[in-house]
Amino acid sequence: MVSNSLKLVQWKIIEALARLRREQADNPEYQKLRRDLPQEWPV
pLDDT reading at 3 higher than 80: no
With a threshold of 0.85, does the pTM exceed it? no
Cα 24 to Cα 7, 9, 19, 41, distances in angstroms: 25, 23, 8, 16
pLDDT band of residue 11 (cuts 50, 70, 90) is confident
Distance of CA 12 to the CA centre of its chain: 11
Task: Give 18-42 pLDDT, tens digit per residue.
Answer: 898 899 989 999 899 888 888 787 6
pLDDT of residue 37: 86
